Amino acid sequence: MSLPEVTEAELQAFVDGQLPAERCTAVLAYLGQRPAELKRLADYAEHKEELRRRLENVDLAADNPATTELERALAARLTRPYYSRWLRYAATVALLLAAGWISHGLYQNYVESRIPELVIKAAEAHDVFGVDQRRPVELTAASMAEMADWFSNRLGRPVEIPVLSTLGLHLIGGRLLTADDRPMAQLIYEDEAGQRLTLCLSSEPLELGEEVELVEVGDLTAGYWQDGDLTYALVGDRPDEQLVAIASELGAQQPGGRL
């Protein structure tokens, strides 16, 4: 996959512990290919950690009330338990990646831990049912209306079965699964070459945006986003550009980065 587009502001927010969780994986993937950037951010995190340690032992003077107030605010921020733990974490992750752990299982475990459970389950379902030639679905495309009612009732939200024929994909059918103990609807599509694509829908609120987020799950590429009350996960062995085009057809916005 192509490298993610990451801004300097996001890099600084990552070290400061202010970067949204959904962007942390993109930043790590970006840093994993840029040793110089890793070293710079690791130094930055270490400097802030050293400042935090010193502030813990500083007896702030009251010679200049304005300066003292700023010092106290900085000390309060840097010595908060959560923030101090984040600084140490950011420095550790950066140093591990700089040392070549980008290909290590620890890095992969971290990346997968940042991916919503819905996306992991969608990838697992694709591995199981996407290759099943005997009974990949419970209801076929001929039962589209029944399937829409079934999914709507179980998810508690109106569900329309997308038609992707303009993109060369025809619906095989769908089935009902679970993710995080919630119902998850799975739809399987197939192109003219017989290559399959899985679309999963859930009503689980994940506080995602409408912009599709691209991730790797094992050997598969997945894109996920939220549209209204439904969360979508699109999974397949396809290039980023194809997944983005399909996600856009489904109503997602173009991604701001790659993972």
Cα 60 to Cα 52, 67, 84, distances in angstroms? 14, 10, 19
3-state secondary structure of 235: strand
Q: Which residues of 117-139 are buried (b: 16+ CB within 10 A; e: fewer)?
A: ebbbbbbbbbbebbeeeeebbeb
d(CA 202, CA 228): 11
pLDDT in tens, 217-249: 878 889 999 888 899 999 998 888 889 999 999
57 DSSP 8-state letter: T
pLDDT in tens, 69-113: 555 555 554 444 444 444 554 555 555 555 554 444 444 444 455
pLDDT over 50 at 165, yes or no = yes
Q: Which residue has the higher pLDDT, 19 or 168?
A: 168
Q: Which residue has the higher pLDDT, 123 or 208?
A: 123
Q: What is the mean pLDDT of residues 157-175?
A: 94
How much of the chain exceeds pLDDT 70, in percent? 65
Single pTM value for the model: 0.58
- The β-bridge partners of 221 are 216, 236
pLDDT over 90 at 152, yes or no = yes
pLDDT over 70 at 4, yes or no = no
Side-chain half-sphere of 211: how many Cα atoms within 13 Å? 8
d(CA 95, CA 89): 10
